[in-house]
Chains A and B, each alone.
Chain A
Amino acid sequence: MSIKKITSVSVIALGLVLGACGGGGGGSSTPIATAVTPPPPPPPVSTAPTFTQGSFAPRENFVDQCEAPRSGSDANGNIFPDGAGSELTEKFWLRSWSDETYLWNDEIIDTDPNDTAGRVPYFNILVTNELSETGSGREKDDFHFSQNTEEFLEQQNSVASSGYGLRLAFINSAAPNRDIRVLYTEPNSPASATQNGVVNFPRGSRLIAIDGEDVLNGDDVDTLNNGLFPAFAGEAHTFTLRDVGAVTDRTVTVTSADVATAPVNRTEIINTPTGKVGYMLFNTFSPFESERSLNDAFTILEDEEIDDLVLDLRYNGGGLVAVAAQLGFMIAGPDRTEGRVASLLQYNDAAGNTNPITGEVVQPFPFIDEGVGFSVNAGTDLATVDLPRVFILSTEGTCSASELVINSLLGIGFEVVLIGDTTCGKPYGFLPTDNCGQTYFTIQFRSVNDVGFGDYSDGFSPQDSTNQFSVNTTGCTVADDLSSELGDPEEALLSTALFYRENGSCPVNQASTKASPPVNYTKIVNPAGTIGALNSESDPFETNVNSFLDATMPQ
């Protein structure tokens, strides 16, 4: 654990002197004394910070002291706070900031900033080298990252709305035999429109050609990317597809549009001999609209008085945690959630119950039974199906807030039946932080549930999974099934959920034979990039640009 030996008085004194000297750039002017009685002469100080193993000055002593100060304001209109400094002060800021806020700060090997050239290389070593505590052999921290702030803000402010309303799986992103399939389409989008009675992009269809270029083996990636990622609404592109079960290809021309994501993509009622089963495909917690979208869907399910719920989170990568806390209430109802914690953020041991980023006391996130004002009026009672269990359909694409729903429900002893495959395992979080033009991402907290559990860095798995490092819960392992439409009772995950519901066990022949897809999980990197760049994993945030098109588990 870090030892903070420098007293606040000496730190403040050093900061004042540095400030008076214009950032410690080598000046030696003396602050003008205004008191009648002159103070005792200050001890000699160096304008450059010095390294003492295990001793950390507050990060405020070094913040915004930049080797190359920016002037003006950023893309959000915020005036740059930069002052004169040096690469060394930037590295000292990184060292103190990491010590104060990094979740595993006591596992950082304290290294003299003078010994590493460059702020980014120095940041890169301010990370734990331990392996996952689950014993999986995975790195404990595989999300330690920084990027130029200007680029980061550009990505944050980009709105990738032009497209077809189409989400694809990149099973093999490089020729030969490039393999791109349709996962699902957005309702009321160009992709879900019909021509001659046929949906433009049915689930599972394989892309054969785009604007005449061979998808499987073609090397004109610009043509492929331009067709896949239209820059503007109104662009017409021609796609040749091979539908599931078809022996011939089909060609459609579609025009791009500004497509809004429907958080709840579809809601179905499945009548069974033993009662009504609600099915809901919920794809993202991210837009503010997700609050209303969920409440509207649950109002339907509540009115239908369903007996069970199948919640399809297989492609849901997360988003707003408040909405996740609302979803938990909408599933489990008031009696099971009242007074219980959906999520509590834990920071490093030194921080205790204080958020070391803001200095505020950490407050638990309860299950929420009313609108909070994203898109449902604050205070409005939310709908609830008030059930004693839920079936959740999952894949490796089930992440963050989706996993938080699972963990929060398990934390109150609620029965979660997981059907599909291991979730992605992301209980951690961060606040991107700029200093001197570089934005740093370092893991700062984990989310735990009502009983304090949050160690699911290898994901949640159905109990019959061969993954020995994930957290097992009731359910069945089944591979994603692109051969049937989502919500179709014949689709493998949904049919397994229905089977389990009827029989209390998994179907005999599906689990071990269909689980664990053999193909790598890859994500689209950048609409402006090349198809070949799909294999890059160096920059996790490049996946940010087009949320429609991150690949998921292949069939």
Chain B
Amino acid sequence: MIGRLNVTLKGVSILAATLMVACQTTAATEPVPAVLASIDSASMDKLKATLSAALNQKSIEFGATDWASSTISVLPVRGQSPNGAPFHQQDFAIPKQFDLIMDASACYLMGRHDHVKIPLENIACRAL
């Protein structure tokens, strides 16, 4: 299906891009999928703060996320339409998916939608 195909292709391309970058900058360690070392409230707050700054979004709400996997879903900011009104542009929004990746001792998020790397400072993660 289109949706699945898109996701799969994006995932492959992201990984390839990541590997290429890694080869250029940190030849010693290949980037690998990672998970947060802890999903306690303090870690979540740090993660939200990082994403809030990176996405220029006041509040961050996570969508359906398996924290044992390396993929994190961030919900879009909603614009409410009353029942019976035309579409709100935001009705067409979908969550953003980020891959958590570990590179040497640092971890970062990579947006599947834009391939932008978001460093995670003071947030521990471990290789999956």
**For the complex, is B18 an interface residue (Cβ under 8 Å from A)?**
no
Main secondary structure of the interface of A (DSSP, over half): loop
Contact of B87 among A318, A338, A376, A544 (CB under 8 A): A318
Q: Identify the closest chain A residue to B89 (Cβ).
A: A431
A377-393 Cβ-contact flags toward B at 8 Å (1 or 0): 11101000000000000
Bound-state Cα–Cα, A288 to B91, Å: 11
Q: List 29 A-B contacts (CB under 8 A).
A: A77-B58, A143-B85, A143-B86, A288-B63, A319-B91, A322-B94, A329-B1, A338-B1, A367-B2, A368-B1, A373-B64, A373-B65, A374-B63, A377-B71, A378-B64, A399-B85, A400-B81, A400-B85, A400-B86, A401-B87, A426-B87, A430-B88, A430-B89, A523-B82, A540-B82, A541-B85, A543-B82, A544-B80, A544-B81
**For the complex, is B27 an interface residue (Cβ under 8 Å from A)?**
no
Contact A429 B86, CB 8 Å, known A367-B1, A374-B64: yes
B1-13 Cβ-contact flags toward A at 8 Å (1 or 0): 1111001000000
**For the complex, is B75 an interface residue (Cβ under 8 Å from A)?**
yes
Contact A372 B3, CB 8 Å, known A288-B63, A292-B64, A543-B82: yes
Within 8 A of B (CB), among A308-349: 317-322, 329, 334, 337-339, 343, 345
Within 8 A of A (CB), among B67-102: 69, 71, 73, 75, 79-95, 97
Within 8 A of B (CB), among A510-555: 523, 540-541, 543-544, 547, 550
Main secondary structure of the interface of B (DSSP, over half): loop
Interface residues of chain B, those whose CB is within 8 Å of chain A, are: 1-4, 7, 58, 63-66, 69, 71, 73, 75, 79-95, 97
Bound-state Cα–Cα, A428 to B91, Å: 12
Bound-state Cα–Cα, A367 to B64, Å: 20
Q: Indicate if the CB atoms of B75 and A288 lie closer than 8 Å.
A: yes
How distant is B97 from chain A, measured CB to nearest CB, in Å? Answer: 5
9 closest cross-chain pairs (CB), A and B: A317-B83, A429-B87, A373-B73, A431-B89, A366-B2, A373-B95, A369-B1, A543-B82, A544-B82
**For the complex, is A80 an interface residue (Cβ under 8 Å from B)?**
no
Within 8 A of B (CB), among A71-105: 76-78
Q: Which B residues are in CB contact (< 8 Å) with A426?
A: 84-87
How distant is B25 from chain A, measured CB to nearest CB, in Å? Answer: 28
Q: Indicate if the CB atoms of A366 and B3 lie closer than 8 Å.
A: yes
Q: Identify the closest chain B residue to A368 (Cβ).
A: B3
Q: Identify the closest chain B residue to A401 (Cβ).
A: B91
Q: Which B residues are in CB contact (< 8 Å) with A369?
A: 1-4
Q: Indicate if the CB atoms of A400 and B91 lie closer than 8 Å.
A: yes
**For the complex, is A464 an interface residue (Cβ under 8 Å from B)?**
no
How distant is B109 from chain A, measured CB to nearest CB, in Å? Answer: 14
Q: Indicate if the CB atoms of B95 and A321 lie closer than 8 Å.
A: no
Q: Identify the closest chain B residue to A371 (Cβ).
A: B64
**For the complex, is A65 an interface residue (Cβ under 8 Å from B)?**
no
Q: Which A residues are in CB contact (< 8 Å) with B3?
A: 366-370, 372
Q: Identify the closest chain A residue to B112 (Cβ).
A: A378
Q: Indicate if the CB atoms of B65 and A365 lie closer than 8 Å.
A: no
Q: Indicate if the CB atoms of A377 and B80 lie closer than 8 Å.
A: no
How distant is B106 from chain A, measured CB to nearest CB, in Å? Answer: 24
Q: Indicate if the CB atoms of B91 and A378 lie closer than 8 Å.
A: no
Bound-state Cα–Cα, A523 to B84, Å: 10
Bound-state Cα–Cα, A381 to B8, Å: 13
Q: Which A residues are in CB contact (< 8 Å) with B94?
A: 322, 372-374
Q: Which A residues are in CB contact (< 8 Å) with B83?
A: 284, 317-318, 397, 399, 523, 543, 547, 550
